[in-house]
Amino acid sequence: MRSRLLTTVVALLAFGAACAHSEELTKLSVSYSATSDFMPTFIAKDTGIFEKHGLDVTLVNLATTSLGPPSLQAGSLQIASISPALLLLANDGGMDLVAVANVAAMDARDPHSGFMTRPGFNPTKASDFIGKTIGRPGINSAFDLLVKKWLLDRGVKLDQVKIVETPFGQMGDLLKAGQIDAAIAVEPLLTRVINSGSAQRSIDFISEIDPHIVAAIFGSTREWATANHATLEKFRASVAEGMAFMKDHKAESDAISQKRLGLAGTPAAISMDLKPSDFDIWISIAKELKLLQQPVDDKKLILN
């Protein structure tokens, strides 16, 4: 009887401790894109790193990164995966967003994004896309602005090409069916679609624009990031630890990538470091496309 009572007390104490630990965790909703760039974040979630740093993180896969800014404004997300371009355009429209960490860059030394084209379409230059349909993941996304910049710089008018919104998950089927001629994708989707026979790798147009472009960042509202700086530091520390885990534990990281993305892909140029000059190319492109109405101070775009 005494033994049974002791067992019950121990169980109740353990349950109470677990509940108390759960209550101590700070809840965060964070969005991501289904690309290998977010492997450190996936690792931090799946290996308990977030919990170790006192965070209860819910990862949210938005259909398109363009939903990030309004979700931050509404409070349904505290941290969102967005492009520098989306942050600029959201602020130009009256929001007050800040970058809180870098996610990844597109780097010519190790390209992990670019065109993939349907079988039978083998472009070698920008003019080959005249009269064709290009799928990209969202209006005013990083890929949207970059492909427009690439076409314009090479003498192709935007009304000569049809650019349509195409979710990553639908690109392979649409290419195979011939409903689009090309799509802009990132790993591991790029390799998965090519290996399926639905498309072939094509021009690395992004490297032709600039050999190193920061394309994905974590953003938040300035109000939340300022008021919750300690929580933000815990988030950054967790992702940094996930990055170190990815480098030191390849087999475990590949298993997480397989579970999360369906393929063990190698991430692109991943770094959390971010500097004001990383926004300069986006400010230039947005101005060229006449998307910005207000002046931009790049030194106010990052909250350290």
Q: What are phi and psi of 103, to 5 degrees?
A: -110, -55
Residue 163: C-alpha distances to residues 137, 138, 183 (Å): 10, 10, 9
HSE value, Cβ hemisphere, 13 Å, CA-based, for 304: 6
- Token couple for 99: 């970058």
Measure CA 125 to chain center.
28
Residue closest to 162 by CA, chosen among 123, 136, 140: 136
Question: What is the rounded CA–CA span in Å between residue 140 and residue 256?
Answer: 30
Residue 137, pLDDT score:
86
Residue 34, pLDDT score:
85
Residue 175, pLDDT score:
97
Q: Which helix (H) or strand (E) holds 87?
A: helix 84-92
DSSP state of 64: S
Q: What is the pLDDT along the chain (304 residues), one digit of tens a residue?
A: 434 433 443 343 344 334 435 569 999 999 998 888 899 999 999 999 999 999 999 999 987 888 999 999 999 999 999 999 999 999 999 999 999 999 988 877 778 889 999 999 999 999 999 999 999 988 888 999 999 999 999 999 999 999 999 988 899 999 999 999 999 988 888 888 999 999 999 999 999 999 889 989 999 999 999 999 999 999 999 999 999 999 899 999 999 999 998 877 666 567 888 999 999 999 999 999 999 999 999 999 999 8
Question: What is the rounded CA–CA span in Å between residue 277 and residue 264?
Answer: 32
**Structural domains of the chain in order of their starting residue, each with its CATH number:** 2-106+213-300 (3.40.190.10), 113-209 (3.40.190.10)
Residue 14, pLDDT score:
40
- Token couple for 112: 């992990």
